[in-house]
Structure 1
Amino acid sequence: MGIKSIIFIIFWGLLSCSSVAGNYVIHAGTLLDVKSLTQLNNYSILIKDNQIIAVTKGFVEAQDDQQLIDLKTHTVMPGLMDMHVHLSGEINKTSYSEKFFMNESDAALRSVVFASKTLNAGFTTVRDLGDFFRGVPVALRKAIEKGYIQGPRIYAAGKSIATTGGHADPTNGVKLDMMADPGPLQGVINGADDARKAVRQRYKEGADLIKLTVTGGVLSLAKNGSNPQFTFDELQAVVTTAKDYGFTVTVHAHGAEGMKRAIQAGVDSIEHGTYMDAEVIRLMKKNKVYFVPTITAGKWVAEKAAIAGYYPEVVRPKAAAIGPKIHDTFANAYKKGVMIAFGTDAGVFPHGLNAREFEYMVSAGMPAFEAIQSATLNAAKLLRIDNILGSIDNGKLADIVAVEGDPLADIRLMQQISFVMKDGEIIKQ
């Protein structure tokens, strides 16, 4: 990447900052109360700086120091949250060789574009669950927090923790003299001591939570996509250490045995959950573990697996077998009462298409309002930030999005977010 390209990207990012936090009155034709699952008609939301200071019935007249935002024909709701993204990359037919041609700085600059697409799609908060390029999500989070660039509020896991040869071992599939023997520094562990060191290393690097890959995965250059890959002792060591450092723990898991071990060890959420069985569902409900389904990623990889050469040959049969199952897994989990938090695995498919997940959730049997709740209040509870985000209430941060029309009648409208405010700043109008 040349210096002219770098300057252009930085300049474009700065120009995209459309406003600063101020005093606003929003006239909401329909306001979604995601706590009670109630539609409220003709409400006003008063915002000062980055905080909601009042939510009142009727259309309040804007004062001299307030700017009026007219959303009378819109449905207004809290900023959306995606609990599973990868902002440091995007999987495609050339991405497996990127690490040989791209530096972390190249990936970091590219991630500015991915972050902007995500925010403009209405997702004001995300969990980044594993970097394609080490350190990029944490650096991106810092740049957004400091106001250098625009993007969603990021909770970053940093490097996912794997076992040798497991999903997220960064040396899978390369020739022997390049495999070396990665350890906790690189997010690869074998045994309880390694597990504790890997968690502490993520803390040292500035991560916000811990992400484990407790079973095989679809897109890794390894044969098995669902076998358990952590011992119970390793999982216990991770979870105990994570709790000491104030981390939540989430796990990538396709196979049932890996999920059972992880839940019994005390993790907070399960990603994908493809082969979830009745015992896994019972354990999740008993232990109040959230399910983050990522249906969009499953459908995407199944579609691309049919294209010769799009994925490496070791990946194609896993993508074809596992990808299509997530939709039905979600339908069963929802029906059985498992707690759901919205997540897509964006980065497996193009960033900015996150809202497709709503349509798939509704087609699997979840009511539209509950799907939106999963991406607002439920996600905030999983992140343990529902005291400041997740609903439109007096005292909470001013993360607000809107769509013209009624998404409860047509959930596909969630893919057409027309207004975005994050931290009291208008991003899109």
Structure 2
Amino acid sequence: MKYAILILLSSIGLMASCKELDMLDGNGPEKTVYDVVFRESLAGTYEKWRTKDNGFEFYYTYTDRGRGPEYKEVISLNDDNFIVAQTVKGINYSKVSIEENFSSNAGTAVTQNLMGTSTGDFNGDKLYFRFDGSPAVYEILAQLALKSETGKVALYPKGEAELINKIPLELSNGTSVELLSIKGLDLNPVYIWMLGDEMIAKISGNLHIIRTDFSPIRQEMKGIQDGIEDESLIAIAKTLTHNVDKVVIKNVNVFTESGSLLYNQDVLVERKLIKAIHSTGEIVLDKDATLIDGTGKTLMPGMFDMHTHNDKFRGMLHLAGGVTAVRDLANNKHLKGLAEQFESNDILGPHIVTFGGIIDGPGPFANQRNVIESLEEGLAEIQDYKRLGYQQIKLYSSIKPEWVAPLTKKAHELGMRVSGHIPAFMDAKQAINQGYNEIQHINMLFLNFLSDTIDTRTPLRFTMPAQYGADLDLNAKEYVDFIELLRNKNILIDPTAAIFENKFLAQKGKPSPTYSTVANRFPIIYQRSFYAGGMPNEGEKLKRYKASYDKMLAVIYDLFQKGVAIVPGTDGLPGFLYHRELELYVEAGIPAHEVLKLATIKSAQITGVEDLYGSIAVGKGADLVLVDGNPVNNISDIRRVEWTMKDGKLFYADELYRSRGIEHFK
């Protein structure tokens, strides 16, 4: 008997909430419906139903500020519940058209997806995991894992998923359910809520997919899952933290505040502080000290990622990449709690040295983290962020232009900086003259020269610079005057260049240039995100977008040359994207030693923590990174992190990466 993929619901209330879809027979399909909640707002729907030929169909969509996927999917299963045929059609999160097919017959499978067409051996005992599509495959995977004697499920064409925890729970509505934790797909375990054979919820970060009848207790379920996730991360922190009272890094080359190297140094660390730095052999070694051979390697200060959005899972990736301090530039108001967990080392993560509270205005493209309906609400929110200890306010694209000046005035009165996107129907010059101290993302500078009527709430903030950025004249008076404005007003620019490399240059079916050197280090399913492509960029757009991206790098170099402060930040995958950001600054023309200064001492100065962090000096905090190589000569050596030290505690990069299913550098 077929291992059922779903238990069909028949309640009148549920059917009344169903979305109109094409009917498959005279009476129409009976559907199971899920709410899709994104950042605590109802953002879409997921629906599934059985067809008259005993197959299954699915519809899935949600919206996120003008982006978001929409898929229709058809699946057929064999008697062992493995997919033997599948079709996915629609658009992905970036609005790129998707059509994917999987079929099998007589020991052979044929796949057609963004990687092209391929054929392989297939005996119906491996799970094909689609590139893009609905949550259906997670439900099938959960069913297979529950049925498996080992908890393991082979994936097609390669890879393996494993059920690592199955937790029986009783919810407040009296329902007995199981929460499954499965590894092997992503950097973090995938959590799936099951009621018998049916998935009732999949909660992952800000994206929650929950059967409509369980929506009233979604927050309860999220709270339970959060606690279980925390317990797992606390256990990992205990295992992967190496406490050392005294450490001597011998014969290492030390990166200095000036950007040069001090060769063949011995560095003594005691507990949380750097106690001594001497030429090799001058320190009398304590027999109780842990000795680390640094021959031929570079000792860097812990680096700063100046544009992050932190959660409890991302912290260890920052540390693995040599990042020990971050600015958080938009999060929920519980961020201080996470920062305390990072500081106490209960959960692994960097110092959060800047807290940026986000405020957005009303409308269909609102950020959803903290939306105000009036100027008075915005002023109150700034006061509340100040109460919580935030140092910065980030205004977003849906803020009404007439609110910018009074909001920035309020923030400045409270001693807070103001940064952000340029609100819709303003330009960067207007925002600066009304009080901005900083601008996030290089595209926002390019929009300044296109029009002040562009709706930056929509994907136009990407497509317009991609199409017309190549035309920007760096010698034109308008541009020269704008750069002078930035310099005179000490405006900080946070380019996030790697984000735009991926958006403008990545092509569907090919490895993104942003991740191509590291893609094969990731779990097989996660690797697929590196082949998804950026914005639609076929034909003439390829050349045009490349020219516009090259102009972005030219502007970054021009900003540096003309004394406008820039900071390296990612707004994405911790560590790996940060390394790429630094590489791109060097590619733009900034000398590697200057880029490393931006990543360390200059970021420490900007965030006001230079007395403790940002350089290697006696009396400073022991936030250090040992790099196997010389990033001053070859910036890409910054990827070769052997270990990171935070507050005198050692974290080995290979251990951190392996805990996330990632291979260490080779």
Q: TM-score, normalised by structure 1?
A: 0.75
1:185-264 equivalence runs, <5 A: 186-188=370-372, 190-191=374-375, 193-213=376-396, 215=397, 229-231=399-401, 234-253=403-422, 258-264=427-433
1:285 to 1:113, Cα distance in 2 relative to 1, 3 A: same
What is the total number of aligned residue pairs between the two structures?
Answer: 366
The secondary structure found in structure 1 opposite 2:620 is coil
Structure 1 residue corresponding to 2:440, chosen from 271, 283, 303:
271
1:357-396 equivalence runs, <5 A: 357-396=581-620
- Paired residue for 2:117? none
Structure 1 residue 40: Cα displacement = 0.9
1:248 to 1:140, Cα distance in 2 relative to 1, 3 A: same
1:330 to 1:112, Cα distance in 2 relative to 1, 3 A: same
- Paired residue for 2:570? 344
- Paired residue for 2:342? 144
TM-superposition CA deviations, 1:73-132 (whole Å, max 9, x none): 211111010000122xxxxxxxxxxxxxxxxxxxxxxx332111111111000111112x
Task: Indicate if the aligned counterparts of 2:320 and 2:575 stay in contact, CA closer than 8 A.
Answer: no
Q: Structure 1 vs Structure 2: percent identity of aligned residues?
A: 26
1:81 to 1:350, Cα distance in 2 relative to 1, 3 A: closer
1:319-338 equivalence runs, <5 A: 324=549, 326-338=552-564
1:253 to 1:377, Cα distance in 2 relative to 1, 3 A: farther
Structure 1 residue corresponding to 2:243, chosen from 20, 44, 49:
20
- Paired residue for 1:29? 252
Looking at structure 2, the residues matched to 76 and 303 of structure 1 have their Cα atoms a distance apart, in angstroms, of 34
1:374 to 1:168, Cα distance in 2 relative to 1, 3 A: farther
The secondary structure found in structure 2 opposite 1:81 is strand
Task: Indicate if the aligned counterparts of 1:210 and 1:247 stay in contact, CA closer than 8 A.
Answer: yes
Amino acid at match of 1:301: K
Looking at structure 1, the residues matched to 580 and 607 of structure 2 have their Cα atoms a distance apart, in angstroms, of 22
Looking at structure 2, the residues matched to 64 and 427 of structure 1 have their Cα atoms a distance apart, in angstroms, of 22
Structure 1 residue 52: Cα displacement = 1.5
Structure 1 residue 266: Cα displacement = 4.0
Looking at structure 1, the residues matched to 438 and 364 of structure 2 have their Cα atoms a distance apart, in angstroms, of 20
Mean CA deviation greater in 362-371 or 375-384: 375-384
1:135 to 1:306, Cα distance in 2 relative to 1, 3 A: farther
TM-superposition CA deviations, 1:203-225 (whole Å, max 9, x none): 34553432222x47xxxxxxxxx
Looking at structure 1, the residues matched to 603 and 366 of structure 2 have their Cα atoms a distance apart, in angstroms, of 24
Give the greater-gyration-radius structure (CA).
Answer: 2
Q: Considering Cα pairs closer than 8 Å and 6+ residues apart, tell me whether 1 or 2 has the greater RCO.
A: 1
Q: TM-score, normalised by structure 2?
A: 0.50
More helix by share: 1
Structure 1 runs not aligned, ≥5 long: 88-110, 171-184, 217-228
The secondary structure found in structure 1 opposite 2:296 is strand
- Paired residue for 1:179? none
Structure 2 residue corresponding to 1:162, chosen from 360, 365, 368:
360
Looking at structure 2, the residues matched to 268 and 66 of structure 1 have their Cα atoms a distance apart, in angstroms, of 46
Structure 2 residue corresponding to 1:52, chosen from 269, 274, 277:
274
Structure 1 residue corresponding to 2:497, chosen from 285, 288, 295:
295
Structure 1 residue 189: Cα displacement = 5.4
1:428 to 1:244, Cα distance in 2 relative to 1, 3 A: farther
Looking at structure 1, the residues matched to 626 and 285 of structure 2 have their Cα atoms a distance apart, in angstroms, of 19
Structure 1 residue 166: Cα displacement = 8.1
Task: Indicate if the aligned counterparts of 2:400 and 2:423 stay in contact, CA closer than 8 A.
Answer: no
Looking at structure 2, the residues matched to 334 and 393 of structure 1 have their Cα atoms a distance apart, in angstroms, of 26
The secondary structure found in structure 2 opposite 1:160 is strand
Task: Indicate if the aligned counterparts of 1:341 and 1:382 stay in contact, CA closer than 8 A.
Answer: no
Amino acid at match of 2:558: N
TM-superposition CA deviations, 1:218-260 (whole Å, max 9, x none): xxxxxxxxxxx553x6334333333444433322349995322
Structure 2 runs not aligned, ≥5 long: 1-165, 168-178, 182-227, 449-478, 510-528, 654-666
Structure 1 residue 392: Cα displacement = 0.8
- Is residue 63 from structure 1 mapped to residue 261 from structure 2 by the alignment? no
1:77 to 1:10, Cα distance in 2 relative to 1, 3 A: closer
Structure 1 residue 25: Cα displacement = 1.9
The secondary structure found in structure 2 opposite 1:112 is coil
1:186 to 1:344, Cα distance in 2 relative to 1, 3 A: closer
